């Protein structure tokens, strides 16, 4: 009996230790981001971007910046991604063409191995209209104790101009209309099936 209790106690602690390590590993995958630029981001004329200008942070599994999605030809969607890229968050220039953000964003560092930014010569958000913009180089991340600190360096010019569009999300009323349309269609199909079952086969 004593040996049986010891075995149960040992199994309990083994399970507890395994669960603890599993939770620790799962949590350690989510890291907090500290990001900044050491040198000013600039407009196409070489002037520092105005305070409040929009900067977006993106992540990627590989070292390739896949760029934003196109819409209707040459239009772009500012916060969109392609391929394995992911949108992490938006910050604003907070002085001298630079920005600094600490622990405002988190991501899974098992998925995101690289980071880059898109910056825009506008303080308006969402980004819409003909706007000068550009991206940084892709920077490899290194996590320590659940944190990633990344310097995107800066010194880049917003030398590319595109027309940015915002794709509106469907409103609740539109979704409700779609649901009602589907429900009405299903009801009509079910009625037809019932009528077919009730109609006698005169050919027999």
Closest CA to 94 of 41, 133, 135: 41
Per cent of the chain over pLDDT 70 is 69
Class of domain 27-164: mainly beta
Domain boundaries, the chain: 27-164, 171-198
- What pLDDT digit, counting tens, does each position of 99-146 carry? 999 999 999 999 999 999 999 999 999 999 999 999 999 999 999 999
Q: What is the pLDDT of residues 20-37, one digit of tens each?
A: 444 444 445 899 999 999
Mean pLDDT calculated for residue range 3-26:
52
Burial of 106 (0-12, 13-18, 19+ CB in 10 A): middle
Residues 156 and 38: beta-carbon distance below 8 Å: no
Q: What are phi and psi of 22, to 5 degrees?
A: -65, -45
pLDDT value at position 168? 80
Spatial contact of 101 and 108, defined as CB atoms under 8 Å apart: no
For residue 2, pLDDT over 60 is answered with no
Q: How far apart are the C-alpha atoms of 68 and 74, rounded to whole Å?
A: 11
Least confident interval from 40-44, 49-53, 143-147: 143-147
Q: For residue 187, name the pLDDT band (cuts at 50, 70, 90).
A: low
Q: List the one residue out of 48, 149, 46, 140 whose CA is nearest residue 98.
A: 48
SS3 122: coil
Give pLDDT, residue 29. Answer: 85
Mean pLDDT for the chain overall: 84
Query: How far lies 189's CA from each of 42, 178, 186, 201, in Å?
Result: 61, 17, 5, 20
3-class SS of residue 194: helix
Please tell me the predicted confidence (pLDDT) of residue 188: 64
The whole-angstrom separation of Cα 29 and Cα 107 is 8
> Sheet containing 147-151: which strands, arranged edge to edge?
100-108, 30-36, 147-151, 143-144
Residue 93 has pLDDT above 80, yes or no: yes
């Amino acid at each position: 009996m004593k040996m049986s209790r010891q075995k149960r106690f040992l199994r309990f602690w083994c399970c507890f230790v395994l669960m603890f390590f599993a939770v620790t590993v799962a949590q350690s995958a989510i890291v907090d981001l500290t990001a900044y630029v050491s040198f000013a981001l600039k407009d196409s004329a070489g002037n520092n971007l105005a305070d409040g200008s929009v900067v977006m942070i993106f992540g990627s599994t590989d070292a390739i910046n896949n760029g934003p999605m196109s819409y209707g030809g040459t239009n772009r969607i500012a916060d969109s991604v392609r391929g394995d890229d992911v949108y992490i968050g938006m910050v604003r220039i907070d002085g001298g063409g630079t920005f600094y953000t600490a622990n405002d964003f988190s991501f899974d560092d098992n998925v995101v191995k690289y980071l880059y930014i898109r910056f825009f010569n506008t303080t308006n958000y969402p980004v819409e209209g003909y706007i000068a913009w550009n991206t940084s180089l892709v920077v490899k991340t290194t996590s320590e104790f659940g944190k990633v600190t990344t310097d995107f360096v800066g010194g880049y010019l917003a030398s590319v101009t595109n027309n940015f569009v915002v794709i509106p999300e469907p409103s609740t009323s539109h979704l409700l209309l779609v649901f009602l349309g589907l429900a009405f269609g299903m009801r009509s199909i079910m009625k037809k099936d019932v009528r077919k079952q009730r109609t006698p086969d005169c050919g027999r």
